[in-house]
Amino acid sequence: MIRNVPHIVAITLVFLSFTPASAQTDRNDPLSKSPTPTTLRTATEAYYGADFADALRMTDLLLDDAELGRDQRIECFLLQAFSYLARGNDQSARESIRKAWAVNRELEVDPEEVPPRFMHAYYDVMQEIEKSIVTNTLAVLMFRNNSVTQHDELDPLSQGIADMFLTQLRSNSTMQIVERERIGYIRREMQLQDSDMFDKGSAVRFGRQLGVHYLIMGSFARIGKDVRLDCRLVRTETSLVVDAESRKGKMDDLMELIDELAKSVADNLGKSKKGAEASKINYEALLFYSEGLAHLDLGEYHEAFIDFDRATKASPDYAKAERRLKQLAPLVANRAD
């Protein structure tokens, strides 16, 4: 979703019309009132059909129209960026992002609803135009796997638990939370390893570079059929641990434990709000989702797509996994199994 653009026609709403058949089309899609709905829809359909050259051709035609509206112009530039990235043309993609930003200098995007590589290009552009890429105040780092048994099998949960914790904290807190994609971007810039994320001194230095006030440093351990979650809230300016929380319960109740922990942290910060209840996501689905994130971070989009699909089959109401599927669909459309 594109944020902070008044009355903007969100390109993700257009995409819903051309994702797999299980996706639902928004009946209130604002593009139905657009002056050029068919052409923009057709360009989006071409992108989702992995016909990136045709998507670029059609958006070029649209952008040549001097009467094209502001919202549609932004949509076209972003669709161009998506298509250029899919063809491996990062430089042209960044130029399209610059043009979109020039139309609206408060442009922000939701990392879960754009192609994975888009955020890297977006952050590059933000740095180049001397715009701060981080205005948030809290970051959730990957959780350390302290499990003695099934350690390797559970290792993907390090990212998965952090991702779900971030989601629940954002839902239940008024604080601004750094997206995991931004954390990964700065981490690559600093060339940090997983072990650096678990060391308090290194993590605090990372947090200062990220520009946040607080870090969540957590761990998990499977104990028989149970799981224990621990997290520390660290203030980056002082390196002091200002809060520590733990939860223990059945492995099958992992999502509920994450939700409880996030709500407790928000309460103790004095920044809580009434958020949506955690979805009933089972452990198997969360593990599949976590494995998908691991593949996603490595640029293995086909493998990630398979894992997210498995997650939705294990928990049909898993909205985050569904969004990831839509995100990756155009990038795996031409891949033969």
113 and 184, same domain (yes or no): no
pLDDT for 266: 87
CATH code, domain carrying 112: 1.25.40
SS3 142: coil
67 and 178, same domain (yes or no): no
120 and 181, same domain (yes or no): no
20 and 55, same domain (yes or no): yes
pLDDT digits (tens, 9 = 90+) for 181-230: 888 888 888 888 888 888 888 888 888 888 888 999 999 999 999 999 99
120 and 177, same domain (yes or no): no
Which of 229, 248, 278 is where one domain is finished? Answer: 278
pLDDT for 337: 52
pLDDT for 154: 94
pLDDT for 269: 80
Which of 262, 278, 294 is where one domain is finished? Answer: 278
Instruction: For residue 225, tell me if it sits in a domain.
Output: yes
What are the residue ranges in the chain where pLDDT is below 50? 1-37, 130-136
Is the sign of the CA dihedral 34, 37, 43, 46 positive or negative? positive
Which of 225, 244, 278 is where one domain is finished? Answer: 278
111 and 182, same domain (yes or no): no
pLDDT digits (tens, 9 = 90+) for 46-71: 999 999 999 999 999 999 888 888 89
> Domain of 146?
138-278
Q: Phi and psi (nearest 5°) for 139? A: -125, 140
Instruction: For residue 332, tell me if it sits in a domain.
Output: no
Average pLDDT of the chain? 82
What's the domain count of the chain?
Answer: 2
Contact 110, 136 (CB under 8 A): no
Instruction: For residue 46, tell me if it sits in a domain.
Output: yes
Instruction: For residue 64, tell me if it sits in a domain.
Output: yes
Contact 256, 234 (CB under 8 A): no
Q: Nearest Cα to 5, choosing from 117, 109, 127, 122?
A: 109
Q: Across the chain, which distance is largest between two alpha carbons, in Å?
A: 65
Instruction: For residue 305, tell me if it sits in a domain.
Output: no
142 and 263, same domain (yes or no): yes
Instruction: For residue 10, tell me if it sits in a domain.
Output: yes
pLDDT digits (tens, 9 = 90+) for 248-264: 999 989 999 999 999 99
222 and 112, same domain (yes or no): no
150 and 100, same domain (yes or no): no
Q: What are the structure tokens assigned to 285, written together?
A: 């689905």
Strand-pair partners of 232: 217, 244
Instruction: Give the HSE-up count for residue 130: Cα atoms under 13 Å, Cβ half-sphere.
Output: 0
148 and 269, same domain (yes or no): yes
Distance (Å, rounded) from C-alpha 244 to C-alpha 117? 35
92 and 174, same domain (yes or no): no
Instruction: For residue 318, tell me if it sits in a domain.
Output: no
% of the chain residues with pLDDT over 90: 47
143 and 272, same domain (yes or no): yes
Distance (Å, rounded) from C-alpha 243 to C-alpha 223? 24
Distance (Å, rounded) from C-alpha 196 to C-alpha 9? 41
CATH code, domain carrying 158: 3.40.50.10610
pLDDT for 329: 92
Instruction: For residue 325, tell me if it sits in a domain.
Output: no
